[in-house]
Structure 1
Amino acid sequence: MTEAKAPDSSRRSERSRRAIYDAALALVGEAGYGRTTIEGIASRAGVGKQTIYRWWPSKAAVLMEAFLDLAEQAAAEAGADGAAEYAIPDTGDLRTDLRRVLRATVDEMNSPAYDAPARALAAEGVLDAELGAQFVEKLLEPQLQLYVDRLRAAEAAGQVRTGLDARIALELFVGPLTHRWLLRTLPLTHAYADTVVDYAVDGLAPRP
């Protein structure tokens, strides 16, 4: 007789965790953040409410972790496809590299899977200082640092003016896209991203 194997609790927990991620993201997209509840997430994920509270203190914490996981998956898939890396590409042509990254950012911002949870976290972060700080630290800051690194490489190569403040310079790229995304009054397109890069890069060029 073969001995029956005990259930793998770690695999069961991982399945439950991923089901909770999927449920939280789906519910926020369908009903909005205000109408999303721990009870709703638990029901959608097929787990008990106590399971969620054992791992997270609030629905905001659930959504934050689910969104970070979504971002990590997107980055891994992009890297596997060769479309993007965990750094802004450096082909030696700053304009081309930044156009590539901003076009990918536009695609992400226009994705329903990204839009609803990102807006929910941004809005809730205004009211919840701790959540807002986590949103910046865990999601925004690592992305902004990629721009800093690429701009410093461009400075070393003589492609931008010496002494450039990379933290201010990166806002010339990400600020306009974020502004349009938040207001939703004008479309976010690749053509717009290209124009933002052209205006910013020409302003950053070395002075004679």
Structure 2
Amino acid sequence: MHRGNRHGRSETAREAVLQAADDLVAEIGYAKVTIEGIAARAGVAKQTIYRWWRSKTDILVDAFAADSVQELTLPDTGAFHTDLRAHLDELVRFLEVSDSGAVFRALAGQAQHDPELAARLRAEVLPRLRARDRVPFDRAAARGELPADADVDLLVDQVVGPIHFRVLVTGEPVTPALLDALVTGAARGRPEARTAAGTPGPRSGTGVGRSGGGEGC
């Protein structure tokens, strides 16, 4: 019993640290966040944090991984067009508005000059995001709603990529008209991201690419 209580307290402290890191990035930006500040916000000692993480970046990677699972729910409407549009609406909200999106934008920026972080995002974060982005397409393929020869990986790239390009690179708004065009093109099995977005964008939502963008960091 005593061991279980200790474990429960540890998990509560860990969740408090993750939430504090999210909140602080959204409030003051990545550069100003410190381990000391996270500890004070979470109500834990710095030594407690260093038992689990080496740096604030490690905390934020773990926070984002947990948040993306909780906040991107992948609604199943039974039809590709509405599945995909619902997912894209949720993705835009997640990236642009939520504290978790602020964390992702901060990590993507930091990864441009932090090779270790870039490698970790490629290995631990981006594959999970891509797997979630694939879900509406895989459902549609299973239901026969996409052409038999549709390149699902390319469809995901060209639908999700322009959203990340606008959020992470240009700062242009992700408009309902853009989402409509992306969904319509994807439903034909011939995504039209180039004409809809004005650019093909980076590969499936990364923004942590090499100097010219793309999926790898």
Q: Give the TM bin, normalised by the shorter chain.
A: 0.7 to 0.9
Partner residue, 2:129 = 143
Counterparts of residues 1-208 of structure 1 (less than 5 Å): 8-75=5-72, 78=73, 84-85=74-75, 89=76, 91=78, 93-148=79-134, 150-155=136-141, 157-183=143-169, 185-202=171-188, 204=190
Amino acid at match of 2:114: D
Count of residues in correspondence between the two structures: 190
Higher radius of gyration, 1 or 2: 1
The whole-number CA distance in structure 2 between the counterparts of 1:155 and 1:70 is 28
- TM-score normalized by structure 2? 0.75
**Preserved contact between residue 106 and residue 190 of structure 1 (Cα < 8 Å):** no
Fraction of identical pairs, as percent: 36
Change in CA separation of 1:152 and 1:21 when aligned onto 2, cut-off 3 Å: closer
Call closer, same or farther: CA 1:49–1:95 in 2, change over 3 Å. same
Instruction: Please tell me the root mean square deviation across aligned C-alpha atoms, in Å.
Output: 2.6
* Residues in 2 aligned to 1:134 and 1:110: alpha-carbon distance in whole angstroms: 23
Distance 1:101 1:166 in 2: 16
Shift of residue 152 of structure 1? 4.7
What do the CA deviations read for 1:97-152 (whole angstroms, capped 9, x no partner)?
A: 21121111122122241332111111122222332233233332123224445435
Deviation at 1:157, TM superposition (A): 4.8
Q: Cα distance, 1:156 vs. partner?
A: 5.4
Q: Structure 1: which 5+ runs fail to align? A: 79-83
Distance in 1 (CA, whole Å) between partners of 2:42 and 2:140 is 47
1:184 Cα shift? 5.0
**What amino acid is the match of 2:43?**
G
Change in Cα spacing, 1:104 to 1:139, as seen in structure 2 (3 Å) is: same
Unaligned runs of 5+ in 2: 192-217
Relative to the length of structure 1, the TM-score reads: 0.78
Q: Deviations over 1:137-172 (max 9, x none)?
A: 333212322444543554455433333332222111
After superposition, the Cα gap between the structure-2 partners of 1:95 and 1:66, relative to the gap in structure 1 and judged at 3 Å, is same
When structure 1 is superposed on structure 2, of 151-160 and 182-191 the one drifting more is 151-160
